[in-house]
Amino acid sequence: MKINQKRFQEHMETLAEIGRIGETGVCRLAHSKEDREAVDVVRIWMEEAGLTTHIDGFGNLVGRIEGQAKDLPILLLGSHIDSQPYGGRFDGTAGALGAIEVVHTMKDEGVTPNRTIEVICFADEEGSRFNKGVFGVRGIIGQLEDGELKRKDKNGITRLEALREFGVEPDLSQSPVYKQGDIEAFLELHIEQGPVLESKNKPVGIVSAISGPIWLTVTLEGFAGHAGSVPMNLRQDAFLGASIITKEFNELVRKEGTPNTVGTIGSVQTFPNSRNIIPEKVEFTIDLRDIDLDARTRLERKLYEIIEKTSKELHLEYSISEDTRSDPRYCADWIKDIMKEQDEKLGYQSPTLMSGPFHDALFMSYISDYGMIFVRCEKGISHNPLEFAEMEDMQKGVELLYHTAVKIAQS
């Protein structure tokens, strides 16, 4: 292998200690103290790799090495180092540290890039803290929305306050940093977060496309009342509504979705959340995704019918807000071709597969061609301390990333 396996392993192990929970978990919420600590450490590794670094007005950590041909569109590599509240050691970090390893290996090998290369650790990919993620990547491509800095975490801290605490004066006027044509390719390595590579007994995969998610927040409002005194037929129970919608939505996706459609209701808040009061208000999230846009649209319409019908039957008021809507996005054929060619030379025989989860790359795809490499992870578990990927598999993925990146950087 060209990459320095030992150095990459040490970086992975060191980063896993920052915000560690239990033996194998990680909690590095976006813009938190732990996130900042991680950024400071990773920044040193970037500089050791020969990159000039800065933290931008969205909280992204960016490293840059000038190419010989300064007018060529740049090569961008990276991922994220923030985590879910009860997350694992590999999601995001494998790709972020893998990207740094790629540039460091070029330096070790005496490869001077023809194209300028930037490595980026995107701020708040995960979205769990402010219930809206991929903040950093949306910042650089100009997809931020009104009120982004006013979103609050569960302790009432706004993103503006959190970013200041993190040590960044938010500057949304920097957005967009890049426009169409500025970037030749964006490459991201990531753990698969699914069971496909494991089932095929392959360490590495080449991604074909990322399926598009819709994120909705649904609020149902009924009427509170004493759980002991209000007769069943007079109730307006918002939680009952949420339960029926959950069940019917699940059946809808199972029966009428494609093999790639998935639907989840993952976060539920009830008010007043008391054992002897009928729930007056329930707020819950819906996540619906597919690689087939028509199929997803059809199911989304039926989902609205379920919400409408259920609310009517139970005499509830409802509202739906849309937090995210992304179309499925396909990886560039020319990048996949380079990956396949390099993969063959390395003898991995990596399969091609699609990504159900979205990544920073999904957003980069709106302004740049992109390619992704997946690394096998145990049982497809992620967003959990049990998340596990073999070091050897990650090293193989980074090796493929290296050869792909060199090819593009020198073109």
- Contacts to Co ion by CB under 5 A: 91-92
Residue pointed to by tokens 């995001």: 92
Residue 91 vs 343, nearer CB to Co ion: 91
Nearer to Co ion, 97 or 245 (CB): 97
**Rounded Cα gap, residues 134 and 145, in angstroms:** 12
Q: How far is the CB of 409 from Co ion (least distance, A)?
A: 24
- Paired residues of 214 in beta bridges: 288, 325
Measure the CA–CA gap between 232 and 277, rounded to whole angstroms.
13
CB nearer to Co ion: give 92 or 98.
Answer: 92
Distance, in Å, from the CA atom of 190 to the CA atom of 202, rounded to the nearest integer, reads 15
Nearest approach, Cβ of 190 to Co ion (angstroms)?
6
CB of 388 to Co ion, least distance (A): 15
Q: Which is nearer to Co ion, 96 or 299 (CB)?
A: 96
Both tokens of 282, joined, read 């329930």
CB of 48 to Co ion, least distance (A): 24
**Is 303 or 361 the residue whose CB approaches Co ion more closely?**
361
Rounded CA gap, 229 and 226, in Å?
5
Q: Which one, 35 or 91, has the nearer CB to Co ion?
A: 91
Q: Which residue is nearest to Co ion (CB)?
A: 92
91 versus 118: smaller Cβ distance to Co ion: 91
Closest distance between Co ion and the C-beta of residue 315, in Å? 41
Q: How far is the CB of 101 from Co ion (least distance, A)?
A: 17
Q: How many CB atoms lie within 10 A of CB 349?
A: 10
The residues near 161 (Cβ < 8 Å, ≥ 6 apart) are none
* Cβ at position 352, least distance to Co ion in Å: 20
Backbone angles phi, psi at 124, to 5 degrees: 40, 65
